[in-house]
Amino acid sequence: MNTVRKAVRNTDGPVIEVTDLRRVYGGGYEAVRGVSFEVGRGELFALLGTNGAGKTSTVEVIEGLAPPAGGRVRVLGHDPYTERSAVRPRIGLMLQEGGFPSELTVSETVRMWAGCTSGARPENEALSLVGLSRRSGVRVKQLSGGEKRRLDLALALLGRPEVLFLDEPTTGLDAEGRQETWELVRKLREAGTTVLLTTHYLEEAEGLADRLAILHAGQIAVSGTPAEVTASQPSRISFELPVGYFPGDLPPLDSLGVTGHEVVGRTLRLRTNELQRAATGLLVWAGQTGVELRGLDVRSGSLEEAFLRIARDVSERDARAERSPRPGNPEDPQNPRDSKNPQNPQDSKNSKNSKKKEHVA
């Protein structure tokens, strides 16, 4: 859909390159198992995923907060961990939870960060970008959750970053604040900022992202443009079977392009990749037969559908894992390669042995 723009902007190679990224926590838990993707200049790439899918674990490595256990990451052509001084001045980032001293005012917080940021915007510019100008004299502890998120965003934008990392930027915002943040992110992208976004909100990804990937158990389950991901999902038709009718009374489902069906009580659910053909065939049959299809619901595949299907796979797999001692899903190509690196317990939340290996000096 935006191949033209991408073709123009990709001339100087991807801004973010992730190749076979792995991340292993102290206890040996492999949170990221071979993730690869690229983000071109000016592109907005969204990472979606169920809880614990590895979104934050992945993003932390790309941000240079932790070294990978395996694989390769390049941001603006540099290793974000070992060459951080080349990368940090050119990126801006927002963590899931901001960390600001509660007793400083908004203005003092911005000034403190400005003193630590190359090419920082003036304070009033940074605050007016996120609509916090009038709150500049207020202590951080008195800000609402949404205002704290916006302060966090202002600091991420302080150095006019070429690459912006946003980890759930609109969590805690009301509908209006969310719209404003989306508008700002759109403007930034139009001005050429590359954005890597993680989010829980599917509409956020669908509305903002040029491309997206859905993570599942540390691997990318689906990726592509929102349209591609949506198109890969089957469409659905459901209705109540008319009284006295059975599925066998319908025209042969194959001939309608239906790929699967299930009956729940009186409700028949059909899955198809050819929604128009299936729906037409069904409605023509209903018209000719003179029956009413109560509760008729026809919907194309959606991102939500894709997401839910992946989430369902997770819970089915968990259920199977509980029944059988063998962990893992046979349909799920998780080959736990030997990348358990005990020397690499970088970890933010998973193990008691959570000691950073990074050096202080």
Binding site for another protein (CB under 8 A): 41-42, 63, 65, 76, 85, 88-90, 93, 95, 97-104, 108-109, 111-119, 125, 128-129, 157, 160-162, 184, 187-188, 191-193, 348-349, 354-356, 358-361
The residue written with tokens 């940074």 in the block is 126
CB of 115 to another protein, least distance (A): 2
CB of 306 to another protein, least distance (A): 31
Q: Residue 49 pairs with which residues in a beta bridge?
A: 215
With beta carbons less than 8 A apart as the criterion, state whether 155 and 127 touch: no
Residue 253 has phi, psi (to 5 degrees) of -65, -35
CA gap 152, 140 in Å, rounded: 11
Q: What is the b/e burial string over 113-148, where b = at least 16 CB atoms within 10 angstroms of the residue's CB? A: bbeebeebbebeebbebbebeebbeeebeebeebbb
Q: Which DSSP string corresponds to 120-133? A: PPPHHHHHHHTT-G
Residue with Cβ nearer another protein (5 or 266):
5
Cβ–Cβ contacts within 10 Å for residue 308, how many? 14
Residue with Cβ nearer another protein (91 or 237):
91
Residue with Cβ nearer another protein (45 or 113):
113
Residue 241 has phi, psi (to 5 degrees) of -65, 130
CA gap 177, 180 in Å, rounded: 5
Query: Residue 316 is which amino acid?
Result: E
CB of 207 to another protein, least distance (A): 18
CA gap 137, 122 in Å, rounded: 16
CB of 25 to another protein, least distance (A): 12
CA gap 204, 62 in Å, rounded: 21
Residue with Cβ nearer another protein (88 or 178):
88
Residue with Cβ nearer another protein (157 or 258):
157
Residue with Cβ nearer another protein (192 or 247):
192
CB of 187 to another protein, least distance (A): 4
Of 228, 335, 308, the residue nearest 50 (C-alpha): 308
Of 137, 166, 144, 140, the residue nearest 153 (C-alpha): 166
CB of 174 to another protein, least distance (A): 22
Q: Which tokens sit at 153? A: 């965003």
Residue with Cβ nearer another protein (192 or 207):
192
Residue with Cβ nearer another protein (249 or 358):
358
CA gap 226, 302 in Å, rounded: 9
CB of 161 to another protein, least distance (A): 6
CB of 194 to another protein, least distance (A): 9
Cβ–Cβ contacts within 10 Å for residue 330, how many? 9
Residue with Cβ nearer another protein (186 or 269):
186
CA gap 327, 314 in Å, rounded: 12
With beta carbons less than 8 A apart as the criterion, state whether 242 and 217 touch: no
CB of 191 to another protein, least distance (A): 4
